[in-house]
Amino acid sequence: MKNTRALRNAVRTTVVCALVACTSVIASSAHAHGAYLDRIEQRGPNELAIYVYSAAMDRVIEQDVLIPDGGSAGRPTAYLLIGAVAEGQDVDWPTKTDLLRFAPGTGVNVVIPHGGAATYYTDWQRDDPNLGRNKWTTYLTSELPGIIDAALRDSGRNAIVGLSMSSTSALALTETAPDLYEAVGAFSGCAETSTPLGQEYVKLTTEKGGGTVENMWGPLDGPGWPANDPLLHADRLRGHTIYISSGTGIPDGHDTLSDYRIDGDQNLLTTQIVEGGAIEFATSQCTRHLAARLSDLGIPALYRPHPGTHSWGYWQDDLHAFWPVMAAAIGA
């Protein structure tokens, strides 16, 4: 039995090392800023889990990682952020889109960090009683990328994609680290955080997740809100490949009982149409504001308004629309 277990572990280690650099190889280079690679686990032929210790947040964070056919070495990487779902809730890119089926054939590594629900993936001013310590800007710009680059032996060229809450985050992170991300996709979000509309959206999202919004950027009339407003700082997006989109809130092709995400559930469909329609109508206003701001600044952007509600079917459509543009931008 012991010999069988040892053989199984040896095979597993060999397979993982064939896909990515082994822990011992990268340990010496993975301690920048106190963060380090904790471990790598194989989940499937193209699927890994990479665990990274964040010194800024003093905890180990899991990343779902998809490796392209042929391995990760020399390939670019796309970071996909999730929205304001509850911790541990099985609602994300791999389960609600066809990402697992199409991404491995595109030559792009995919990294999906766990956690961050209701945090806007930003550095909070204070620890929160319910959401804990959140220093996501530090993690996603200073701690994680170097460790991923070493572990995957990738090309060092990156894109970032967000939806709903994390749409705002993807734009803000690109503005914070313009040399890190070359392409950004923002689906169904609200880029503005210091307008009444934007602040209400942030407040509702954060409080729904159990957080106290003032712990994030301070008082609503304080300087932290405009400082973190992607719309105000949209000039920092110049030189990037930008894709922004939002539905109108009017139900369309994915708002049906036959959609596999609905699976015949009338209550779920009603919620998607009523609540999802209202949310998407609000984000459509924000997205129009961002498109106009970028146009005024003379910054090219792909802007895709479309029918539909605030739901995964349309985000899958956006992912397919953005992917070839993103891949070209980062050299896939």
CA proximity to 304, closest of 289, 295, 286, 291: 291
Task: Please state the domain extents for the chain.
Answer: 2-323
Q: What is the reported pLDDT for 83? A: 86
Alpha-carbon gap, residue 297 to 263, rounded angstroms: 44
The runs of H, that is alpha helices, within the chain are 2-19, 23-26, 93-96, 99-102, 136-138, 144-152, 165-176, 196-208, 214-217, 224-227, 266-296, 312-330
- pLDDT of amino acid 89: 57
User: Domain 2-323, what fold?
Assistant: Rossmann fold (3.40.50)
Query: Counting every residue, how long is the chain?
Result: 332
Taking the mean position of all CA atoms in its chain, how far away is CA 62? 13
What tokens were used for 15? 């397979």
- pLDDT, averaged per 10 consecutive residues of the chain (332 residues), comes to 41 49 44 85 95 97 96 97 69 89 97 93 97 97 97 97 97 97 97 93 92 96 96 98 97 95 94 95 96 98 97 96 98 94
* 239 closest CA partner among 329, 116, 110, 154: 329
pLDDT score of 117? 87
Q: Which residues, other chains included, contact 307 with Cβ-Cβ below 8 Å and sequence gap of 6+?
A: 247, 248, 250, 251, 252
Token digits of residue 30? 């993975």
pLDDT number for residue 23 = 44
pLDDT recorded at residue 12: 43
pLDDT of 11: 40
| pTM, full prediction | 0.91
- 37/60 Cα distance (integer angstroms): 9
Residue 276 sits at φ, ψ, to 5 deg, of -65, -30
The phi, psi pair for 232, rounded to 5°, reads -65, -30
